[in-house]
Amino acid sequence: MKRVLCFGDSNTYGYSPFDGTRFPKEVRWSGILADRFSKDDVQVIEEGLVGRTTVFEDSIRVGRKGTDFLLPLIESHYPIDTLVLMLGTNDCKTIYKASPYIIGRGIEILIQQVKDFNSNIKILLVSPIFLGDRVWEDGFDPEFNEEAVEKSHKLKDVYKDIANKYGCSFLAASDYANPSEADQEHMNEEGHRALSNAIYEKLINEK
């Protein structure tokens, strides 16, 4: 049986923009992907965590630094055939003061960790959806500002260059899904379906 590990943040976890709960497995993109691959004897492993970053420590929530957890998770679920890596939204938070280039460096470190561990693991690098234009306004998420929105729009090109540099597959989530109007940050049910379909087709076509 082949294994696909989906490593990401709240949009992989399936955070609901409507009430802050977790969407059920049949709604979140990685759960839909698992269902579609079940007939192909492929196990999809969901490893999404709210607030997860590439390399930054969260001062109020422990265990959010991606570089501390990716390799242990790969070893825990080993063998892994494909890693679907989608991080970067939380790196745009005001507190980290990270440029798109620095966020990309965090992604590079994660990719290099995987390649150093086992160069045969295929990597699908996914640039995240854009932040909503009003995410920083009252009633939404005060951890972001207007500049964070601009950064989120620049990650697509940064990640595409990184994928080419390291020989990874690439997909831009922002080509298929948008943040919900409800919270300007997380996908709704339609977004999860659209992203899952895009990732499924990408993985199938690059077997």
Mind listing the pLDDT tens digit for each residue in 164-189? 999 999 999 999 999 999 999 999 99
Mind listing the pLDDT tens digit for each residue in 138-171? 999 999 999 999 999 999 999 999 999 999 999 9
Low-confidence spans in the chain with pLDDT less than 50: none
Rounded (10°) angle between helices 66-76 and 100-117: 30
Place of tokens 């242990």: 72
Q: Are 155 and 88 in contact (CB under 8 A)?
A: yes
Pairing of strands 42-48, 2-8: parallel
Return the H-helix or E-strand segment holding 48: strand 42-48
Residue 179 half-sphere exposure, CB side, CA atoms within 13 Å? 21
Contacts 24+ apart (CB under 8 A), 64-69: 64/90, 66/7, 66/106, 66/110, 67/106, 67/109, 67/110, 67/113
CA-CA-CA-CA torsion for 42, 55, 179, 30, nearest 10 degrees?
Answer: 10
